[in-house]
Structure 1
Amino acid sequence: MPHHDVDVDIPDADHTLDLPDDLAALIGDLEAASHIPAKRRTADIKPTVTAAAQLMYQHGVLPDELARLADLLTLRSHLAQASLAELVRNLYPAAHVADEVVLRFVGALGHGQLKPTLPLQAQYLRWLVMVYPVLENPSVLSQAYSVLFNLLDTAAIRIQTLLNLTRQTGGDPNLTGLLRVFKNYYPEIIVGDITKGRAASFKHPDSAWAQRLDDIQRQHAQRQVDTAVRNGFSVNHGVFQRLRGVKVVVPDVRTMHAQENSVTLEEIDSADSLVNKLEKIELPTQLVAVLADPLLQKLLLLRPDAEASSRISNWLMACLGDVAAGDADADIFLDMVDVIHEYALATKTLPPILVTFFEQFLSVWDGSSKRDKVLKTLSFVPLMEFQELHKILRALERAMLDNTPLSQLSLLRFYTSLLERWHITVQAAPSLDSLPLDSVTHVIEYVHPLSLTVTQTSPTVGAYLDVLDFYEALASLCSSPKLLPVLDISIPPPLLVYLTFFSPSLVITSRLCGILATYKRAWEAVMSPAVPRQLSVREREHINIFNGFLMDLCNCLWRGRAFATSDTNAKGCLLPASARAALEQYVTARDPDVLSLATAFDLSHSPLLCLRSISYLRELEDKAAADGGGGIRARHAGPVTQVSLGRLANRGGLRLSWQDYRAGVLAHLEEKGFPGIQELMYNTMKNLMRARQA
């Protein structure tokens, strides 16, 4: 392609709204909603507030979450006062309250436009009183006493005022109690016999709240202990507590009829003990305890046993048989999911026995109960032959997909997690010869239609980001040096690329460009002599399609030829000729001297980039004016073009070449957190490549 300045010619080789049960995610939704006026929100935030309050009441708030909520509650926002009050009422710390959280609430007290309302401030004070027993540093309130005291209204704290109020109310017990406090601290002040009357004691504001706080603190402490056991080297006798409520009774580790010269698992209490006695350890009586006991999991990983696997399989199949025969409640499956989920998280594996269980489970699952746990557990499915895997994927889709964007997005996130785990598997494998890598390609092709469907059924920023999560994981997989010699490169569907490129979010466009830059490096690597393989027929077809992506995006962003089809490989972003003509007529009718369809999406004119590009130029002009030496006599009104830069210099304005301006905008975008566009341009445009090499 000698007549083009775009390096795109890689030569032929002859995602019904549901709410998450994750408090951190809910807080993120609240933070996003707090910046948007209620009338402009696309969804009601009240269910999110209610769900967050319920989770806080049930499980408490971890330190990191508490810090985020403290900011959310104390800074002025667009959340309703009722919503903020509900959050404060359920703000149960699961652990100690850090000083910074205390000071955040203290700093929110007082008068001022940016301060929370007075009713909310009263709730903050009440909360500080109630969490005092769990403060990380109780003296922090003493250190802030002067701040608190100065916030009080002077007239309200004068003793004479209290005396007058007491006389007017006939010796109100609460006022009498407060006067006694003053008398204790200031005995030199004479208050007469008023303090001898009946006085109300200062009680805890809410004893029920305190009891709930105590329960949450104890539960959190127990979870910490359980975690230590689960990650340690001793039998977890707390398994029943951790799985309380499930109908499946997973037996505890018990070794009956142990031999004199053997060692029971219950005797192991350290890593050294496990290693030194590994061959002498006798297997426990109920091997299915492996599903919940980490020490038994370690033993069977280090010392595999065919008989043990068979016994575990028999137990699971017996459970399935009971349900099939009607002798057990079908809810037993959901309880088993809890148990297997714990096992998968602990071992980072899902053995064939448990894969078989899920094949049975998915046939009776309603598609929504414990969906997050089901999908997280299934993401540990090992790399297997696609024929077997396809049965599970089809059963999963039949159970989950209900023609709603939520079900599609949940399924897409599952595939992203599965792909990421498989990537870890192949990177860790000593040899790839025994791995069915064709299954990776089949799954990728299986997900392409789902991703494209999500971009059309749920054209939101969040859904697009979920789609890009998958293709980011895919690009990383395809560009892996270990996989390049053995795995075909799979690219996104063309329509998906163009839909995401023209999305209303610069984050999305930047990420897409970064993903395409990763793909381009993968194509260049796989066609280099360093990779000893020939391209497949499918890959040869994909090269031409991918070159079309690059040419079209470069035409829009860099070359001022948006939707052109005359260039080699250019597809005009798949825009029909009739639509292009209508758009051209529309743009020309609006302002033909300033804008054309060809340049409507370049760095200066694009709706996503125009503010960033002119901001970059403003920074240069401000710097030139501040440097002195005559400064500049004219400023650019924007948008910037090659011609306008020449005119600007002639009028005494900033002297800047067109090439330097565009390179500067790319660098400015990267500096502001949008590196993808620069990455793609410097990997595609020949003049930029030469400039970087020089």
Structure 2
Amino acid sequence: MPLSSPRGADADELDHADDLDGLIGDLEAASKVPAKRRKTSIKSTVEKTTSWLYDRGALPDELTRLVDLLTVRNHLDQASLAAIVRNLYPSARISDEVVLRFVGALGHGQLKPSLPLQSLFLRWLVMVYHMLQNPTILSQAYGVLFNLLDTAAIRLALSRQTGADPNLTGLLRVFKNYYPEIIVGDITKGRAASFKHPDPQWRARLDEIQQQRSERDDDRGTRNGFAVNHALGRQLKGTKAVVPAVHTLHAQESSVTLEEIDNAEAFVKNLEKIELPNQLVAVLADPLLQKFLLLRPDAEGSSRISNWVMACLDDVASGDADSGLLMDMLDVVHDYAMATKTLPPLLLTFFAQFLQVWDGSDMRATVLETLSFAPLMEFKELSNITGPLESAVLDNTATSQVSLLGFYTLLLRRWTITIDTAQDLESLPVAAVPDMIGHVNNLALTLTQTSPTVATYLHILDFYEAAAALYSKQRLLQHINVTIPPPLLVYLLYFSPSLAVVSRLCGILAAYKRSWEAVMSEAVPRALTRRERDQINLFNGFLMDLCNCLWRDRAFSTTDLNAQGCRIPQPIQAALESYIRAADGTLSLRTAFGLSHSPVLCLQSISHVRELEDGEADVIRTRHAGPVTQASLEQLANNEGLRLSWQEYRSGVLGYLESKGFAGISELMYNTMKVLMKTRR
């Protein structure tokens, strides 16, 4: 039914109330008249009522009137009453009065609703439990409910005589999880599904109605972040709705419940008095409870959360629930990790089991991002998680390898934050950092073979930039050994066709060089390990090779100290030299990768010269044809062209690259070449 005018949220609710109010009034009038005496059929009124309930839900007053219709014997037919119950979506908290009316309608009696209708009442109470204004009302009515149970259903005392009853076993497991001190023997070993929601689709629709109302409420006032998320059940979709909202039952008079907190001042003032809520697993989605458990950790509470999470895994593993439950649980765990920036041990245990049943592709990005919050731990311990993770993710494609590399990059960044902010580094397992970098070295080398693309190279550089950032902190260098990239990886990246890749690589190597210098100086009071000494020789080797290529016009030379000729075998160098000479007699292999001739630098180099020439266009009469050499600059000056020394030209190219955002090459040269160090000083 269309709204009369777009007057905002308040007008929307008034229209809704007026329409549904009239329909309920028609139903109330019809309930007092036998069907045969009615002038019109009530069928269309019931259909409109259920349609309105499905679309918007019932406000508290409307709900009360509908419950009166349902619980008191009248002349409405059973099909109509059942349809109303099935569409009885509350749009706000449910009062004690509504609950007690339903409870009071249960049982045998001439004036009681029919038994099928009573069954729907019980089902409805189960599905809306999270919305009760006062959940303790059901506890207070427990005696009434218990006395209504059929004696055949009271089996706790007769459990051994009843055999392996799945429902009973499931109930006893609940007792065992929440009250482990109660001895239940071997009864809980039988096969039994956990208690499931009676109608997930109904709950999903209820969540949507609640979300719509919550959005209208949020428009009228912004939450301050220090209040229980009462809209939790409405915000979670699908199976995720099994995560309960915060409720505290049986609170002491001297204690305070989280539900009473509505601002930061009240939270801080009552921190030590706050009573733990009954369903601690709500911490996975409720920000206030997350803050509370971070400030007041509780071992028993962690155990209860772990039991709940592991029960979900057990259900999927046993076939009692489908994999969709795990995916929904994963979403909740991911949101928790993103909100708290932590992944506590109980959730690592969840992932240890989860990875055994995960297919490696569903929600892969969510899995990897969540696991990147894993705390700093010994690498062997980390391998208990990353081993199964790699087995699940890697599927012989470069995409899966890049995804895994991205995970390690995120993990290394988060570990760096953990280490950098720690007060006592001695107590942290910081040796895991070089071990992990060494592990990723192999992954990065593999990627250069399976996917030798610029995009892949940039992902690899992301990881080593994170490593270089960690090693740039002298305080951390006192406790963490330096681990360099493999030389072969450095050469493969350097000969990439991308200037961005070459520049970033050089910037990373410059940062590593500063780290080595710090470790070898008095700034870092520790001795080099034997492994680090071996790495220094390798590092100096590819530093020398890159300088020979870029600055000295001596590419692939092996005559200098530490030079490795980029690990190009001599026969291959000879073949390359012959090829270049045949293509261009003025070019040699030694100069082919310098600033002027390198495939990734030649355009930038000549562009620098063109800018200088444009600045002196009124003075010069000859322009350089390019590429620039020391001899060509002398000839250019003699032909009334630009007067520029070879040293000025090369320094100018470095500055030009910096101005264009490619500072890495300049950074490496000024940190490595002695002549440039003096110039910059």
- TM, length-normalised to structure 2: 0.67
Structure 2 residue aligned with 1:622: 614
Structure 2: tracts of 5 or more residues without a match: 1-207
Q: Distance in 2 between matches of 1:525 and 1:647?
A: 45
Which residue is 2:331 aligned to?
A: 338
Q: Specify the alignment match of 1:474 in structure 2.
A: 467
TM-superposed CA distance for 1:322, in Å, is 2.6
CA distance in 2, matches of 1:254, 1:246: 20
User: For 1:185-200, what aligned pairs fall within 5 Å after superposition?
Assistant: none
Q: 1:224 to 1:423 in 2, by over 3 A?
A: farther
CA contact (8 A) 1:477 1:483 kept: yes
Structure 1 SS opposite 2:670: helix
Q: 1:460 aligns with which of 442, 453, 457?
A: 453
Q: Distance in 2 between matches of 1:578 and 1:262?
A: 83
The answer to whether structure 1 residue 264 and structure 2 residue 257 are counterparts is yes
Is the contact made by 1:468 and 1:512 (CA closer than 8 Å) also made in structure 2? yes
State the shift of 1:242 in Å. 2.5
> Paired residue for 2:314?
321
Residues 137-178 of structure 1 deviation map (CA, whole Å, 9 limit, x = unaligned): xxxxxxxxxxxxxxxxxxxxxxxxxxxxxxxxxxxxxxxxxx
Q: Structure 1 vs Structure 2: percent identity of aligned residues? A: 66
For 2:543, the equivalent position in structure 1 comes to 550
CA 1:524–1:219 in 2, change beyond 3 Å: closer, same or farther?
farther
**2:497 is aligned with 1:509:** no
Is the alpha carbon distance of 1:685 and 1:220 closer, same or farther for their aligned partners in structure 2, counting shifts above 3 Å?
farther
1:610 is matched with 602
Match of residue 661 from structure 2:
673
Q: State how far apart, in whole Å, the 2-side matches of 1:348 and 1:425 are.
A: 11
Is contact 1:472-1:515 (8 Å) kept?
yes
Q: CA deviation at 1:313?
A: 1.6
How many residue pairs get aligned? The number is: 471
Contact 1:248 1:336 in 2 (8 A): no
Spell out, residue by residue over 1:659-683, the C-alpha distance to the aligned partner (whole angstroms, 9 max, x if none).
0000000000000110000000000
Q: Which residue in 1 is equivalent to 2:82?
A: none
What is the CA distance between 1:220 and its match in structure 2? Answer: 14
Contact 1:337 1:374 in 2 (8 A): yes
Name the CA distance, whole Å, in 2 between partners of 1:263 and 1:543.
Answer: 61
Structure 2 contact 549–555 (Cα < 8 Å) conserved: yes
Residues 340 and 224 of structure 1, relative CA distance in 2, 3 Å threshold: farther
Secondary structure of the 1:567 match is coil
Counterpart residue identity of residue 411, structure 1? L
Consecutive unaligned residues in structure 1, runs of 5 or more: 1-214
- 2:575 corresponds, among 564, 576, 582, to 582
The offset of 1:482, in angstroms, is: 1.8
For residue 436 of structure 2, the aligned residue among 431, 443, 460 is 443
Structure 2 Cα separation of the partners of residues 567 and 511 of structure 1: 25
**Given residue 601 of structure 1, which amino acid in structure 2 is its aligned partner?**
F
**Any runs of at least 4 consecutive aligned residues in structure 1 with deviations exceeding 3 A, and if so which?**
218-226, 228-231
Contact in 2 for aligned 1:363/1:395 (Cα 8 Å): yes
Cα deviation 1:70-89 (Å, max 9, x = unaligned) = xxxxxxxxxxxxxxxxxxxx
Specify which structure has the bigger relative contact order, considering alpha-carbon pairs within 8 angstroms and separated by 6 or more residues. 1
CA displacement at 1:352 relative to structure 2: 0.2
Partner of 1:234: 227
Contact residue 634 and residue 653 of structure 1 kept, 8 A:
yes
Q: Which amino acid is the alignment partner of residue 240 of structure 1?
A: G
Q: State the alpha-carbon separation in 2 of the partners of residues 419 and 334 from structure 1.
A: 26
What SS does the aligned partner of 2:385 have? helix
Q: For the structure 1 residues 365 and 271, does the alpha-carbon distance in structure 2 shift closer, same or farther, using more than 3 Å as the test?
A: same
Which one of the candidate residues 381, 384, 394 is aligned to 1:388? 381
What's the offset of the Cα at 1:330? Answer: 3.3
With over 3 angstroms needed to count, the CA separation of the structure-2 counterparts of 1:369 and 1:223, relative to structure 1, is farther
C-alpha offsets along residues 436-486 of structure 1, whole Å, 9 cap, x if unaligned? 011112111111110111112111111110000000001111221121111
Classify the secondary structure of the residue corresponding to 1:489. coil
Give the structure 2 partner of residue 278 of structure 1: 271
Q: State the alpha-carbon separation in 2 of the partners of residues 406 and 497 from structure 1.
A: 22
In the alignment, the residues of structure 1 paired with residue 240 and residue 272 of structure 2 have an alpha-carbon distance, to the nearest angstrom, of: 35
| Aligned-pair CA distance for 1:328 | 2.5
2:641 to 649, 653, 661: 653
Shift of residue 247 of structure 1? 5.1
When normalised by structure 1's length, the TM-score is: 0.66
Q: Whole-Å Cα distance in 2 between the matches of residues 651 and 324 of structure 1?
A: 83
Does structure 2 conserve the Cα–Cα contact (< 8 Å) formed by 1:230 and 1:293?
Answer: no
SS of 1:246's equivalent? helix
The one of 234, 244, 250 equivalent to 2:243 is 250
Cα shift at 1:224: 12
Partner amino acid, structure 2, of 1:338: D
What amino acid does structure 2 have at the position aligned with 1:591? D
Preserved CA contact (<8 Å) 2:233 2:241: no
1:363 counterpart residue number: 356
Give matches, 1:144-223, under 5 Å: 222=215
Which of 498, 520, 524 is the aligned partner of 1:527?
Answer: 520
Deviation string for 1:524-569 (max 9, x for gaps)?
Answer: 0000012111111110110011001111000000000011111111
Report what 1:170 is aligned to.
Answer: none
Deviation at 1:248, TM superposition (A): 6.1
Question: 1:288 and 2:281 equivalent?
Answer: yes
Larger Rg: 2
* Conserved? CA contact 1:681–1:688, under 8 Å: yes
The answer to whether the aligner puts 1:410 opposite 2:400 as a matched pair is no
Distance 2:223 2:339 in 1: 8
Distance 1:598 1:619, change over 3 A: same
Q: 1:408 to 1:219 in 2, by over 3 A?
A: farther
Distance 1:408 1:611 in 2: 34
Q: What are the Cα deviations for residues 287-318 of structure 1, in whole angstroms up to 9, with x where unaligned?
A: 11001100001011111112211211222222
Q: Which amino acid aligns with 1:485?
A: Q
Q: Is 1:229–1:236's contact at 8 Å kept on the other side of the alignment?
A: no
Following superposition of structure 1 onto structure 2, how do residues 534-545 of structure 1 map, counting pairs within 5 Å? 534-545=527-538
Aligned mates of 2:298, 2:222 — CA distance in 1: 24
Change (3 A) 1:220 1:518: farther
Q: Deviations over 1:228-269 (max 9, x none)?
A: 988711111222233201256101101111122211101101
Instruction: Give the superposition deviation at 1:361.
Output: 0.3
- Say if 1:322 and 1:617 are closer, same or farther in 2 by CA, change over 3 A: same
Aligned with 2:423 (options 402, 414, 430): 430
Cα gap change, 1:632 to 1:676, in 2 (>3 Å): same
Q: Give the residue type in structure 2 aligned to 1:342.
A: D
Secondary structure of the residue that 2:478 maps to in structure 1?
coil
Question: Residues 502-531 of structure 1, C-alpha deviation per residue, up to 9 Å, x if partnerless?
Answer: 001000000000000000000000000121
